[in-house]
Amino acid sequence: MILDGKIPAGPLPEKWDRHRREMKLVNPANKQKFSIIVVGTGLAGASAAASLAELGYRVDAFCYQDSARRAHSIAAQGGINAAKNYPNDGDTVHRLFHDTIKGGDFRSREANVYRLAQISNQIIDQCVAQGVPFAREYSGLLANRSFGGAQVSRTFFARGQTGQQLLLGAYQALSRQVHLGNVKLFQRTEMLELALVDGIARGIVVRDLVTGEIRAHSADAVILATGGYSNLFNLSTNAMGCNVTAAFRAFQKGAYFANPCFTQIHPTCIPATGEWQSKLTLMSESLRNDGRVWVPLKRDDRRSPELIPDNERDYYLERKYPSFGNLAPRDISSRAAKEVCDAGRGVGASGQAVYLDFSASIERFGEGLIRERYGNLFEMYEKITGENAYRAPMRIYPAPHYTMGGLWVDYNLMSNIPGLFVLGEANFSDHGANRLGASALMQGLADGYFIIPYTIADYLAGITPGLVESSHEAFRKAVEDAGERTRKLLSIRGKKTIHDFHRELGEIMWNYCGMARNEKGLKKALELIPDLREEFWRDVSVPGGAEELNQSLEKAGRVADFLEFAETVCHDALHRNESCGGHFREEFQTGEGEACRDDENFSYVAAWEFRGNGAKPELHKEPLLYDNVRQSVRSYK
């Protein structure tokens, strides 16, 4: 089936305005008749829930954390992009659009990305009005910094805690609506099922994580803003609780999953040190503004870094990509790090690390300025490693960080299931095969503050409110399914821990579907995953009971879903016989080891339809047409 993205007609810069003019509205007095469920309270979820409630809709918002303020957007460090062009360095909406499309290796929709760039400026205005304390210049004007994949300074930031400050802005807007009685907030509540009635999304089934109660909530529309699935790799920079469950349930109920193999491996993370490692910590990409990445020229050079003279160091990013240097995009930087480590030139005890060296910047600008820019990151590095990065270079290595893939949505951010909308990282829409730094925050807030309030009205205006109640048969069945699954997990009482399985799955995915992939490895993964899944359902040990707070049960459910979902990712990676962005297939590279894209055959969104557990999903395509940019070879040389 060829999918229709419902892109509005007209010239690119006019599409969104024209669409807003043409979409239907819901009368102010009628808005309170409509109820909307929002799952997830990160940037996309919180901003959507707050904005919709402000408009007068009745909103139920859900998160698994003990507070909406703790959603993982909080951990984003570096910044948020906007085309304000405050530094007068040549930025425009079109340039932000073009950088994002190019950064995504020409695998995202022109119309979506253009709209994102247009909205970017409004987001900054909105956040400042909310009291987000962005960094300022001495003039009192807002400050900007540079980020990977761009040659202009367009990133707004609040120290190294931009995600935190933006999320608190959205959380506070949401709190205001809770106070006004327009939002009902359900914290420590996890979505376990999506409920459809006659093929239309009508609600969700959740588990109260404190009491264990499984219950249904009905609504006129359901919004998923449930984040990404990097924890598929076990070790990632995501929070421990991040999971694919909500999106996977929607997938099982018929929502298409788009480009699942487009996963981002972030180049600058603190390397793993042992088997007990529970997560990997990101060091903001902004560090690459002042840090130089290098490894020794010689293999197995075990000298400590200060003993290696400059002419025996390989500043490989500067060497390979002179015009972008250390600010080469994430996918390219990560792969380059893997390449030098695979060649035996990695550093540290494991040989799986490269240096990020600030000595030149410290010499040039003084330690004070570096401390002002990155003080909290250097502190974090020292807490974790016990090392002082003002004295010796940091050791970094790539780690799974973000997933560009997600549920398929049209231009209105609605999935192929009517009434099911997907926002933020959970959808696939804007980043193609690779996301640029400081663009995730932009997308989450664009979706929540400025897109969904318009597009959901267009949907709601065409339906009758309150048609289905949670007592409907479809909900009873969904509640039963969720309860049955829980009982099954608790009844196995096997010998292996949940973490054992998660670790094994992570290893399979990292080895065969990580930074570099090939046909043989992916086929191997597709053999290993079903065996591991079968073993899980036979031998996992899930302690505790169903009707209580049970963190083991929560984790078991999430790992079980990763075990199902992993194959879809591998199928997608195997079918895409090209290299683009974060998806690097070893068979498709140039003589210099650069990605070889195949626009003739793969210039489409791969949207997968669920065909049963363990069965190969069915591929649908949405062709990607480029009328405004040329699909050039992406060069950062």
Partner 1 sequence: MNLTLYVWRQKNPGEKGRMNCYDAGNITADMSFLEMLDVVNEELVKKRIEPIAFDHDCREGICGACSQVINGIAHGPEAATTVCQLHMRRFTDGDAIYIEPWRSRAFPVIKDLIVDRSALDRLIQAGGYVSVSTGGAPEANATLLPKEEAEEAMDAAECIGCGACVAACPNSSAMLFVSAKIAHLASLPQGRVESASRVRSMVEAMDRQGFGSCSNHYECQAVCPKGVDVKNIARMNREYMKALFKAMG
Chain positions 569 to 628 lying near partner 1, rule: CB under 8 A, are none
Phi and psi angles of residue 622, each rounded to the nearest 5 degrees, phi first: -115, 110
Residue with tokens 């879903």: 561
The smaller minimum CB distance to partner 1, of residues 277 and 601, is found at: 277
Smallest distance from partner 1 to CB 552, Å: 6
Smallest distance from partner 1 to CB 379, Å: 8
Distances (CA, A) of 611 to 97, 252, 617: 36, 8, 5
The smaller minimum CB distance to partner 1, of residues 542 and 624, is found at: 542
Smallest distance from partner 1 to CB 350, Å: 12
Site size toward partner 1 (CB under 8 A) is 77
Among 175, 350, 359, 589, binds partner 1 (CB under 8 A): 175
Residue 442 near residue 81 (C-beta atoms within 8 A): yes
Catalytic residue among 58, 330, 558, 597: 330
Smallest distance from partner 1 to CB 373, Å: 13
Among 158, 219, 317, 340, binds partner 1 (CB under 8 A): 158
Give the single-character DSSP code of 13: G
Smallest distance from partner 1 to CB 4, Å: 29
The smaller minimum CB distance to partner 1, of residues 96 and 595, is found at: 96
Per-residue b/e over 413-429, b at no fewer than 16 CB within 10 Å?
bbbbbebbbbbbbbbbb
The Cα 15–Cα 78 span in angstroms is 31
The Cα 38–Cα 189 span in angstroms is 12
Site for partner 1 in 487-506 (CB under 8 A): 497, 499
Smallest distance from partner 1 to CB 357, Å: 22
Among 541, 589, 628, 631, binds partner 1 (CB under 8 A): 541
Smallest distance from partner 1 to CB 172, Å: 4
Give the single-character DSSP code of 217: E
Among 25, 384, 625, 633, binds partner 1 (CB under 8 A): 384
Among 3, 7, 178, 463, binds partner 1 (CB under 8 A): 178
Site for partner 1 in 60-99 (CB under 8 A): 65-70, 72, 74-75, 84, 86
The smaller minimum CB distance to partner 1, of residues 269 and 474, is found at: 269
DSSP calls for 196-228: EETTEEEEEEEEETTT--EEEEE-SEEEE----
Residue 507 near residue 532 (C-beta atoms within 8 A): no
The smaller minimum CB distance to partner 1, of residues 168 and 216, is found at: 168
The Cα 286–Cα 373 span in angstroms is 9
Beta bridge partners of 345: none
Structure tokens at 562: 């990763």
The Cα 557–Cα 178 span in angstroms is 30
Among 35, 47, 100, 361, binds partner 1 (CB under 8 A): 47
Q: What angle do CA 550, 49, 57 make, to 5 degrees?
A: 120
Strands 313-314 and 292-296: antiparallel
Stretch that binds partner 1, among 20-28, 234-242, 513-521, 571-579 (CB under 8 A): 234-242
Among 59, 111, 166, 168, binds partner 1 (CB under 8 A): 168
The smaller minimum CB distance to partner 1, of residues 449 and 584, is found at: 449
The smaller minimum CB distance to partner 1, of residues 175 and 352, is found at: 175
Judged by CB under 8 A, does residue 7 bind partner 1? no
Strands 200-208 and 189-197: antiparallel
- Residue span 117-146 as binding mask against partner 1, x where in contact by CB under 8 A, dash where not: -----x-xxxxxxxx-xxxxxxxxxx----
The Cα 224–Cα 429 span in angstroms is 14
The Cα 526–Cα 165 span in angstroms is 41
The Cα 8–Cα 20 span in angstroms is 10
Angle between helices 162-179 and 43-55 (to 10 degrees): 30
The smaller minimum CB distance to partner 1, of residues 25 and 467, is found at: 25
Site for partner 1 in 254-313 (CB under 8 A): 273-274, 276-279, 281-282
Smallest distance from partner 1 to CB 260, Å: 24
Among 23, 490, 546, 549, binds partner 1 (CB under 8 A): 549
Residue 66 near residue 188 (C-beta atoms within 8 A): yes
Judged by CB under 8 A, does residue 210 bind partner 1? yes
Q: Tell me which amino acid residue 472 is.
A: H
The Cα 365–Cα 372 span in angstroms is 11
Judged by CB under 8 A, does residue 386 bind partner 1? yes
Smallest distance from partner 1 to CB 375, Å: 11
176 is catalytic: no
Catalytic residue numbers read 330
